[in-house]
Amino acid sequence: MKRLHVIVTLATILVLVTASPGAAASDDDDSKFGPWSAATNLGATINSTFADFGPGLSPDGNSLYFASGRPGGSGLADLWVAQRANKNAPWQPPVNLGPTVNSAGVEAVPSFSRDGHWMFFASDRTPGGFGMNDIWVSFRANPSDDFAWQSPVNLGEPINSAFFDAGPALIEEGGQDILYFNSDRGGSQDFYASVREKNGTFGTPTLVTALNSAASDQRLTFRKDRREVFFFSTRAGSTAFDLWTSTREDRDAAWNTPTNVGSAVNTAANDFQPTLSRDGRTLIFASDRAGGFGLPDLYIATRTKGGD
């Protein structure tokens, strides 16, 4: 009965968002990008002496959500949000999202629908879960209010399983909404994709073979034109967990062979859980490299594009 209730509840709320997807006015971005700057620590305003990880940028880029084990939360690691007035303004001190969203467990790796009404994230909370870690979704009526999130709903089967499911990212592809995520249901962590059906439910997930490897592959994050993606992996060519990227000719084409993001961003330490701004200029990620405030910290790299 629990699983039936989850499916019925989720179908109801997803039908609402299907009816009003809130797509951006233009998702095209054909400009060429320059190289990434050397990654730098986001500093003491964002980072703490505790674990700070699992970041997610809001669609407008002016709210940075992330997981933290710092005091003041509800559980082992809560979702916090730091805001800024615009992309050139400094980040303000982060604020806990509160008990409506957070639990006694771990909440991390949030991502957002294009219209900003929906937040997908991973959590090991109980009760209500299907496995070791599940994907949850929360809705807010006002996409500009970072503290208006409603109680999260478990995405249920077939997205969640008895295994570790995380790294959600909802994008439009081929005229359909696709939920990408990673799971170790097949052995190692691999990427899966699920089509959202007309009734709002999600179809059976399929492997994203073009981006997967025999190693651990996790947390996809897309540029707004869906022609570039970043993730982290231990595949051959990595020193530990490294950030990797892939591109494609257009938003519905096959992905090219992934390449390592390179030494400006990656180190011999673990560099992981990237979030890419929709305009493709900013990459924020977690790293346990030396020189931080805690273990791990959040870091940022930027790049310019044609015309800058």
User: Can you give 212-249 as a three-state secondary structure string?
Assistant: CCCCCEEEEEECCCCCEEEEEECCCCCCCCEEEEEECC
Confidence of residue 6 (pLDDT cuts 50, 70, 90): very low
Superfamily of the domain at 2-25+41-302? TolB, C-terminal domain (2.120.10.30)
Per the structure block, which two tokens stand in for 163? Answer: 């295994």
Taking alpha carbons only, the member of 102, 92, 83 closest to residue 145 is 83
Q: Give the model's pLDDT for residue 231.
A: 99
Note the pLDDT tens digit of each residue in 252-292: 899 999 999 999 999 999 999 999 999 999 999 999 999 99
* pTM of the entire predicted model: 0.91
Note the pLDDT tens digit of each residue in 150-159: 999 999 999 9
Q: Give the model's pLDDT for residue 83.
A: 99
Count of CB atoms situated within 10 Å of the CB of 20: 9
Contact between 118 and 139 under an 8 Å Cβ cutoff? The reply is yes
Note the pLDDT tens digit of each residue in 170-227: 999 888 999 999 999 999 999 999 999 999 899 999 999 999 999 999 999 999 999 9
State the chain's mean pLDDT as an integer. 91
Note the pLDDT tens digit of each residue in 40-51: 999 999 999 999
